[in-house]
Homo-oligomer: A and B are copies of this chain.
Amino acid sequence: MISDTAVVKSKKIGQGTTIREFVVVAETAIIGARCIIHPFVLIEGGVEIGDDVEIFSGVVLGKEPKGASAVARVPTCDKQVTIGNGCSIGPNAVIFQDVKIGTGCLIGDGASIRENCRIGDACLIGRYVTLNYNVSIGNRSKVMDLTHLTGNMTVGDDVFISIHVSTTNDNNLGKLGYDKARVLGPAIDNEAMIGAGASILPRVSIGRGAIVASGAVVTKDVADETLVAGVPARYVRLV
């Protein structure tokens, strides 16, 4: 069922899919079966959506990365966006070009995911979480509301990252311009847990099953199965 107020140029809309009022779908977009596309959604060219996906009001899929003169790094990317079966994309979320999202993910309201990101299956990306370019997330990981994942960082499987977590990739705070060899975010291994409001500095690795306490500022690598806390973060005990 496609609303007669929607502007749908694609012919590739699956069976049982509902497209509501004022939706815009480009000619080269593909939408699977039994999806629900709520009002005011914009689906640009090159976007491929699986089956049983629900996309809430105001979402933008396939936004072109934009380099104004204010930006250090010139974005380059493929136009393709893939959203796996059974995903739910919350109101006003923004997915840039060249993003792949696995099956069964929940993307929260206003989450903004930049180019070259890869998200596995059954992940939760909270409300207003911002992912910078080239973030890789494994399966079953959760990133809670208002957290920022910096460019060129990795998150493993079954990781929990709480709310308001800061991650950064450049100790020179942008002073030296963008250099892919120098600008590198944290690496967070499987089953690690990062507490609310923690800050993880560039190039820091967080070990498998490690725990970072709420409010900690992590300046050095954290070993597997280790709890750290404080500003700057210090070893507390094994977990």
Contacts and interface: CB of A to CB of B under 8 A. Distances in A.
B68 A105 contact: yes
A195 interface: yes
How many identical chains are in the complex? 3
Contacts of A230: 231
A60 B56 contact: yes
A118 interface: no
B217 A217 contact: no
A152 interface: no
A16 B11 CA distance: 29
A21 B40 contact: no
B60 A87 contact: no
Given A42-B39, A110-B128, A91 B66 contact: no
Interface residues of A, number: 73
Interface in A142-176: 142, 144-146, 148, 150, 160, 162-164, 166-168, 173-175
B24 A42 contact: no
Q: Which interface residue of A56, A69, A70, A199 has the most chain B CB atoms within 10 A? A: A70
A146 B144 CA distance: 13
B56 A57 contact: no
Interface of A: 5, 7, 20-22, 24, 38-40, 42, 54, 56-58, 60, 63, 66-71, 86-88, 90-92, 94, 104-106, 108-110, 112, 122-124, 126-128, 130, 140, 142, 144-146, 148, 150, 160, 162-164, 166-168, 173-175, 193, 195-197, 199, 201, 211, 213-215, 217, 230-231
24 contacts: A7-B21, A20-B24, A21-B24, A38-B42, A66-B88, A66-B106, A68-B86, A68-B106, A69-B104, A70-B106, A70-B122, A90-B94, A91-B112, A94-B109, A109-B110, A128-B130, A146-B146, A160-B175, A163-B168, A164-B197, A164-B199, A213-B217, A215-B217, A230-B231
